[in-house]
Structure 1
Amino acid sequence: MRVLLLGADGFIGRRVADRFFTDPELQVTVLGRRDSADIRFDLASGSPGALTRFLDAVMPRVVVNCAGATYGTQRDLVRANTVAVATVCEAIRRSAEPARLIHLGSAAEYGPVSIGAAVPESADPRPIGPYGVSKLAGTELALSSGLDTVVLRVFDTVGPGAPAGSLFGRLAESLRRALERGEPQVRTADLSAFRDFVDVRDVARAVHAAAFSAATGVVNIGSGSGTRLRDAAGLLVRAAGFEGRLVEEGRSGGPIVPGQDPGDRPGEVLWRQADVRTARDRLGWRPRVPLEESLADVWTEIACRV
């Protein structure tokens, strides 16, 4: 089966590429901005017509969109997460043989949710901030395109290759410096919130499963459990062998408890936990890599970096 992979240089995209290239049933073509891509193309600035010509040359049965941006200005986020998706959808619609589209969304599209509860795909999205808004706009474009589309709404992804700007990428680098310098403490952001962590390799498995499935609509991809950031950070500290202490900066509000109204602390997402039954039932997918292993691998990669 021919697959066109977009965004293979990103955190998730690299693992999806690894997974796809090891499957002898797949013939993978990579499209992106870098020289390593089979086809050089910028989704944020290129025209749908030009992309359609590439689609007609490759004739993929599946297009996987892992492209996007997590950081940047509002303009950057809209171009990468919304305009680029519009270009992809229009190009596929114009192509001679429209492909199935697998688009990677984000749990940030949900925004604040009820604390203590698993959020289902049917929940009304209420994103806060330009990233969540731009991702939701991209999801809505994909779902309303009329194409054979599944959106994998990915929760908080961790594991080897974690971006330097991510919470655990920054924390791992801070722990490394502290160990090298013999410093007794490491400063970090507020760790009171809860997140649903899923290993990047498990996300790649979900994308692979979606390529062979008939699932459409939104499918949550997460672990199915909410973990306090402080507890997750403790796993990384333990993996590093750091015996000092973490100092949280910018803490706000009181403790987070089940049943708390998310409106008590406006502008914050206090809780994330995915309802993953749809992924189990429609993709045959379950997470496999435990959080402790994910974070140990984050540390191993940072510790071995020259």
Structure 2
Amino acid sequence: MRVLLLGADGFIGRRVADRLLADQDLTVTVLGRRDSADIRFDLTAGSPGALARFLDAAAPQVVINCAGATYGTSRALIKANTLAVATVCEAIRRSREPARLVHVGSAAEYGPMPAGVPIPEGAEPRPVGPYGVSKLAGTELVITSGLDAAVLRVFDVVGPGSPTASLFGRLAEGLRRALEQHERVVRMPDLSGYRDFVDVRDVARAIQAAAVSAATGVINIGSGHAVRAREAAQLLVRASGFEGSISEDARQVLVPSQVVTDLHQQPRVVEPRAVVEPVQWRQADVRTARDRLGWRTLVPLEESLADIWMETACRV
């Protein structure tokens, strides 16, 4: 099977690329703006017609879109998460042999939901902030495109490679600094919210499963369990051996960790921004993923967080 991968340099995209390239039954082509891509193309600026010509040349049977932006201005987020998706959908429609599309969405599209209840795919989305709105718009473009398409609405992704601007990326860096400088307190934003943490390697397996399946529509990808962020943070603290305390600012939380990483900007350090986060509960209803993809999580949260710490501790 011939696969065209978009967003191979991102947090999730790197893991997807590793899985696909290890499968001898797949021929993988990477499209992106960087020199490492097989096909150089900017999804936020290129036209659907130009992209359709590349599709005709590569003749993929499946297009996997892991590209997008998590941080930036509202305009930048709309360009990366909505306009780029429109370009991909239109290019596939114009191509000689329209490919199947697997698009990576985000649980941020749901917005606030009732606590204590798993979120099904049929829940009415109520995103807050430009990121969730731009991702939901991208999802709507895919599912109304008329294409053979699936959207994997991924919940809170953790594991090795986590961005330093993410919740556990920031905590791991804080713990390392505290251990090096013999500090007793690591300051973090509010950790009272509940999240459905899923390992990036499990997410990559789900994307691969969706690529070779006939499943269409929106499919939640998560662990199916809600864990208080504070309890998850303590797992990372124990992995690090830090014996001090975590000080939380109840008025602020991190910009939430999202599932896609910007493919179209040059690599840069993104400083976390403290904002009020109105979403206190995320738990995926994962029955659709289990029934239609034959997928379930394999990596426990403890292992995901231990791997984050190991990576951070070994970073030079």
TM-score interval for Structure 1 and Structure 2 normalised by the shorter chain: over 0.9
Question: 1:267-306 deviations in whole A, cap 9, x for unaligned?
Answer: 6001000000000000000000000000000000010001
Partner of 1:305: 315
Residue pairs, 1:234-273, within 5 angstroms? 234-251=234-251, 268-273=278-283
> By how many angstroms is 1:251 displaced?
3.8
Partner of 1:260: none
Say how many residue pairs are matched.
293
> By how many angstroms is 1:249 displaced?
1.1
> By how many angstroms is 1:236 displaced?
0.6
Partner of 1:261: none
Partner of 2:267: none
Matched, 1:279 2:284: no
2: distance between equivalents of 1:100 and 1:46? Answer: 21
Instruction: List, as ranges, runs of 4+ consecutive aligned residues in structure 1 with deviation greater than 4 Å.
Output: none
Q: Structure 1 residues 60 and 42, CA, compared in 2 at 3 Å: closer, same or farther?
A: same
Structure 1: gaps spanning 5 or more residues? 253-265
2: distance between equivalents of 1:60 and 1:115? Answer: 42
2: distance between equivalents of 1:302 and 1:40? Answer: 32
> By how many angstroms is 1:54 displaced?
0.4
Matched, 1:289 2:289: no
Quote the RMSD (CA, aligned, Å): 0.9
Partner of 1:114: 114
2: distance between equivalents of 1:129 and 1:277? Answer: 28
Partner of 1:181: 181
Question: 1:194-229 deviations in whole A, cap 9, x for unaligned?
Answer: 000000000000001001100000000000000000
Q: TM-score, normalised on structure 2?
A: 0.92
Partner of 1:262: none
2: distance between equivalents of 1:89 and 1:179? Answer: 48
Partner of 1:74: 74
Residue pairs, 1:49-88, within 5 angstroms? 49-88=49-88
Residue pairs, 1:21-36, within 5 angstroms? 21-36=21-36
Identity fraction in percent: 75
Secondary structure of the 2:150 match is: strand
The amino acid that maps onto 2:290 is R
Matched, 1:2 2:2: yes
Residue pairs, 1:30-179, within 5 angstroms? 30-179=30-179
2: distance between equivalents of 1:83 and 1:235? Answer: 39
Structure with the larger RCO, 1 or 2 (CA within 8 Å, 6+ apart): 2
> By how many angstroms is 1:14 displaced?
0.2
Secondary structure of the 2:67 match is: coil
Structure 2: gaps spanning 5 or more residues? 253-275
> By how many angstroms is 1:31 displaced?
0.3
1: distance between equivalents of 2:69 and 2:250? Answer: 25
Question: 1:63-100 deviations in whole A, cap 9, x for unaligned?
Answer: 00000011111111101100000000000000000000
